[in-house]
Amino acid sequence: MNQIYTKTGDEGTTSLREGMRVSKDDPRIEANGQIDQLNALLGVVRSMLDDEESKQLIHAVQRELMTIMSHIATPDGHDNPRKLHCVEITAQLEQAIDAVNFQGGFVIPGGGSSLAAFIHLARTQARTVERRLWSLHREHPLDAPIMVMMNRLSDYLFVLANEKE
């Protein structure tokens, strides 16, 4: 087995794709760290869900988040061979939102199930990711479908959490 540690980050830098070194608080690294946290929360949510359709959609979102992270870690001016599927996933999120007969307003998380509380936690993290991506976008432009998908993801998680209360 290969060693997990490389010691190359011990001085506060890390690598982007193509080997470019940046500080560990570079906006691209910060955005990817926030996406990583969202992906972990979505994994908790997916493990708790009982309906296969929601599980599959969240799994597709998780895979796309990994692709988005790869694009963020690609230095400006370099190509990334991984194809984004944000447009298709946004359409799936919108379809799932539209399928719910949502009657409520804002709620205080934790008043219902543990699952709903975790979904709300993932929703708030999705909003944090969206803010970080807009900050990043000013310095390192991102594809518009990424931004739309992130906005729709938090909407979907809001509706899903209310459905699971």
Give per-residue pLDDT as tens, 38-87: 999 999 999 999 999 999 999 999 999 999 999 999 988 888 889 999 99
Reported confidence tier of residue 4, pLDDT bands at 50, 70, 90: confident
Rounded Cα distance, 79 and 133, in Å:
19
Within 13 A of 74's CA, how many CA atoms are on the CB side?
A: 16
Residue 104 has pLDDT above 70, yes or no: no
Q: Return the domain boundaries, the chain.
A: 15-164
Rounded Cα distance, 120 and 64, in Å:
20
Q: Is 86 in contact with 145 (CB distance < 8 Å)?
A: yes
For the whole model, what pTM was predicted?
0.90
Q: Which CATH superfamily is domain 15-164 in?
A: Cobalamin adenosyltransferase-like (1.20.1200.10)
